[in-house]
Structure 1
Amino acid sequence: MENTPKRGRGRPKAFNPKPEQTTVQALDRAVHILKVLAEGEGMSLTELSEASGQAPATVYRVLSTYEAHGMVEVQPATQLWFIGQAAFRIGSAFLGRTNLVEQARVVMRELMSDTGETANLAIADGGEVVFLSQVETHEPIRAFFRPGTRGPIHASGIGKALLAYLPTPAVERIVREQGLASFTPRTIIDQDLLLAEMADIRARGWAVDDEERTEGMRCIAAPIFNEFREAVAGVSISGPVVRMDRETGRGFGERVREAADRITEAIGGRAL
């Protein structure tokens, strides 16, 4: 009988360094450049240098290294840099940790078909929501969030649906750390009003982004729960107010709530 070799741990024994000792500055700068590039739709060397606050020569060396590994690509004609296929494959490894996206996909397609509006899947990351997947409507006017897009948690349908199931001190901490930025005249920028909204969301089971992030767009969202009854993700539909008036939105609320419950069950979660 063979002995299974022990796997090495991620750090040496008695390794208890100070935070500044665990950071490789050159790598830190390089990762920052990659993050800046990921936020754009193709960026020039000059734009990347200005946005990252690093010298053009430094940025070029980093990009050249990334390019050799397929992490970034450059279009010769425009000299614009883009995220490469290797970076996508690495990022996709995160999705491999959970079957959430896979299980949600079928439900999201049905939700889009039933409502005629774009269906979205997102999780919370601190004071923001991160979109994981989307099933677009066939309508010419529609919302679009590519995977990895971030948005303010207090001005998002899914964000508010997740905030509603956090303890009040946790919501207050997020407000204290992230603030309540205003994006439209309808954005909730008062903590007491936000907490009152959370109570309403819990009472009905779904949230509304009523032109709070973008004027002319409305979103209906509901939370997805894990096996511990923790709200870990959210599903939503979003579209222009000309198609999603308030009466239509109320009618869609239960449909979105039902979709969230189906995804919760599919991933082994337990709804409240």
Structure 2
Amino acid sequence: MDFQDNQVSSARKSRGRPRGWDDKTAQNTIKSLDRAMEVFEYLSEAQGKPLSQLADEMGQSPATVYRVLITLEGRGLVEFDRYEQVWHIGPRAFVIGARYLRRTSLVDRARPIMRRLMEATGETANLGVEREGAVLFLSQVETHASIRAFFPPGTLSQMHASGIGKALLAHMDADRLERVLSANALEAFTDFTITDQSALHADLALIRERGYSVDNEEKNIGMRCIAAPVFDLNNEAVAGISVSGPTSRVGSEEITRFSQPVVEAAQALTEAIGGEAASRTS
């Protein structure tokens, strides 16, 4: 980095943060604000509690907690139920949270997670969503290996023959799943493609149980894919993350080994977009 680059870097830092940014000592924190956020976060997890119980559980004096709550109430972040005499999170908290979600880009949030996944497995990482009964690939971080899977952004793939597609199908409600499957024939691409509805439903049940899907040469001979779903704040599977590679490198033993980092990557992206995974059902 030359002198000019250093100047640009310094200018950028000065606009967003002051000198001593990394100093998190007490002198650089606002204790009253930190205490207020502590109360706010605790109330978000334990709503509907009276002042005395909140103060007792947090180990704070009722007077201190009351001042915090009154201040937050003035901003609409909490509200008081006068009939029940308990405190709740207020509507303004939702408004602020919604603004965060609008700022959040699925692809932008996914890129560093996908890069870590590629580095952990040595195989290409992919991000896809469902669009009109097909998988639409949004992003890819390619492996450095010479033989690799390639799904450029904008590529469409049939859901029943895709790792991401099956991960998303597995978490659709029954009515939507029926609509998607009835509108799209289970086309055979290889001898391993699942073309029977009963067999596909059995595979989807297994995917829900273990938390990840496998495309075992179902779209392309010689290629395997392991995928896991990404959930939004409504517990709906809105995307999928996968790793894909040749069967010469992704053998049967690698499926189990790769499944953990794939599931962890999907969970990390779920958290990054403010989502929450649905409970697994068989």
Superposed pair shares fold, TM > 0.5: yes
Equivalent in the alignment of 1:102: 108
Residue 170 of structure 2 is aligned to residue 167 of structure 1: no
Residue 159 of structure 2 is aligned to residue 153 of structure 1: yes
Equivalent in the alignment of 2:264: 258
Whichever of the two has the greater Rg, that structure is: 2
Residue 182 of structure 2 is aligned to residue 176 of structure 1: yes
CA shift at 1:105, angstroms? 0.4
The structure 2 residue matched to 1:113, chosen from 107, 111, 119, is: 119
TM-score of the two chains, using structure 2 as the length reference: 0.61
Read off the aligned partner of 1:170 and give its amino acid letter.
R
Equivalent in the alignment of 1:246: 252
1:21-47 residue CA offsets vs partner (Å, 9 max, x unmatched): xxxxxxxxxxxxxxxxxxxxxxxxxxx
The structure 1 residue matched to 2:210, chosen from 201, 204, 212, is: 204
CA distance in 1 between counterparts of 2:200 and 2:103 reads 32
Unaligned runs of 5+ in 1: 1-95
Read off the aligned partner of 2:152 and give its amino acid letter.
R
Equivalent in the alignment of 2:193: 187
CA distance in 2 between counterparts of 1:172 and 1:182 reads 19
Read off the aligned partner of 2:211 and give its amino acid letter.
G
Unaligned runs of 5+ in 2: 1-101
Read off the aligned partner of 2:173 and give its amino acid letter.
P
Structure 1 runs of 4+ off > 4 angstroms?
none
Bigger shift: residues 111-120 or 173-182:
173-182
Which aligned pairs between 1:1-272 and structure 2 lie closer than 5 A?
99-272=105-278
CA distance in 2 between counterparts of 1:119 and 1:106 reads 11
1:197-222 residue CA offsets vs partner (Å, 9 max, x unmatched): 11100000000000000000000000
SS at match of 1:123: strand
CA distance in 2 between counterparts of 1:183 and 1:170 reads 24
CA shift at 1:150, angstroms? 0.4
CA shift at 1:250, angstroms? 1.2
SS at match of 2:225: strand
CA distance in 2 between counterparts of 1:160 and 1:127 reads 11
CA distance in 1 between counterparts of 2:277 and 2:125 reads 20
1:78-97 residue CA offsets vs partner (Å, 9 max, x unmatched): xxxxxxxxxxxxxxxxxx98
CA distance in 1 between counterparts of 2:191 and 2:205 reads 22
- How many positions carry a matched residue from both structures? 177
Percent identity between the two aligned chains: 55
TM-score of the two chains, using structure 1 as the length reference: 0.64
